[in-house]
Amino acid sequence: EDPIHAKNTLEWLLKLKPDADDALKISALGHDIERAIEHRKVKRKDYKNYDEFKRAHALNSAKILEEIMNECNVRKELTEDVFYLVSHHEKGGDDRVNVLMYADSISFFQVNLPYYFVRNGLEETLRRCLWGFKKLPYHLRRIVAEFDYGDENLETIIMNCIDTIRI
């Protein structure tokens, strides 16, 4: 699921910003890299709330990417740019971070949602979807609303998001 999500995030990034620079592309592919390293992965149970967990996840992924890029002797400016983008990809900020956040959020709905539902059940998946849906501007919520999951539970979750947030 995670490699597919990484590639899909890059695809969405390029749809949203066809002229994306290398830092954005690297960030799209590596924004969740900490999930690939079990002993370095942050655990939700260790945080008071979901936002704190996601901030820690973003910072952890940024640190891991920074280490890899330093080992590969990547230019300092590029490494710092990627670190900044990845460390802020869950919350957003400036235009570049926001486009990464949007691509990641859309990809969650397109790729990760079915897996998340299987792991976490209806109530938690609805909570997570509302959290992610709120990060998207209106025109990108419309894209998510058009996804066809072929699963009544997932369709219901998306409809609940739409009804709650009033896209």
3 state DSSP class of 75: coil
Kindly tell me if the per-residue pLDDT of 55 is higher than 90: yes
pLDDT at 1: 66
Would you tell me the crossing angle of helices 95-107 and 2-16 to the nearest 10 degrees? 130
pLDDT at 19: 98
C-alpha–C-alpha distance, residues 5 and 111, integer Å:
6
Residue ranges per structural domain of the chain = 2-165
User: Rounded mean pLDDT of 80-108?
Assistant: 97
Give this prediction's pTM. 0.93
Q: What is the pLDDT of residues 108-128, one digit of tens each?
A: 999 999 999 999 999 999 999
Q: Class for domain 2-165, per CATH?
A: mainly alpha
User: Rounded mean pLDDT of 72-79?
Assistant: 98
